[in-house]
Amino acid sequence: MNIPVLTIDGPSGAGKGTVCRAIAKKLGWHYLDSGSIYRSLAIAVLKAGVDVRDVGAVTEVAQAMSLEFDCGDELTVRLDGENITPQLASETTGNTASVVAAYPEVRAVLLQKQKDFQQPPGLVADGRDMGTVVFPEAEYKVYLTASAEERAKRRYKQLIEKGIGANLDQITSEIEARDRRDQERNIAPLAMAEDALYLDSSDLTIEQVIEKVMNLVR
Ligand code: DC
């Protein structure tokens, strides 16, 4: 059976999460937040006290970890039975995720876990390599981006709203460093699939982006 997939790839902070969740809800499709898989691995690695530079040890953690996703209104993730949702969004988790995501061995282990999300009636998949590597046969593909400056501003606003102290310059340089790492790695780098629709959200509202993506799927 052909289960439709919509992939939305792009750098962090482009609004993929919000757009994917809204579209999955509208269509009644499942939602894969692939970044949260790499983020969960980052938490597992930090918890295990493993050196993130030790590829072999990180790969073993990836193989051994058990993840449960509950994609209700808010995503809840359990790592080996423990609710790790509150730690998922932190900068430390995101930066560590970007390091472990650069290991081919890790990506190989996590590939099937991501493919398993393709269940009826359909899937919205959010990440960096959804349209290029994990679901290259996807019917609908979008590449959603925004300038680093705009993404840093959004991230800053989110943190301040959550009551977390933040520094805009630091966030901007971290976003630029993470973009470089995600784009320059040898394995599954952040790149636009040839058959993807390119959308720059810098000057669009979330509603406008959702509308454009919905038009593609309609
Ligand atoms: O989308 P995010 O910020 O939650 O992703 C965290 C990190 O995980 C990001 O820096 C790169 C990595 N990642 C990846 O390599 N491939 C994906 N499909 C999703 C995320």
pLDDT in tens, 88-128: 988 899 989 989 999 999 999 999 999 999 999 999 999 99
User: Could you give the CA distance from residue 199 to residue 60 in angstroms, rounded to a whole number?
Assistant: 37
Regarding the beta carbon of 10 and ligand 1, being less than 6 Å apart is answered: no
| Ligand 1 centroid to residue 186 C-alpha, Å | 15
- Answer whether 94 contacts ligand 1 (Cβ < 6 A): yes
Atom of ligand 1 nearest to the CA of 178: 10
Query: Quick one: average pLDDT of 171-197?
Result: 89
**Whose structure tokens read 């000057």?**
203
5-217, CATH topology level:
Rossmann fold (3.40.50)
Q: Is 107 in the pocket of ligand 1 (CB under 6 A)?
A: no
Q: Of 141, 147, 157, which Cα lies nearest the Cα of 201?
A: 147
* Domains of the chain, residue spans: 5-217
Return the pLDDT at 158.
84
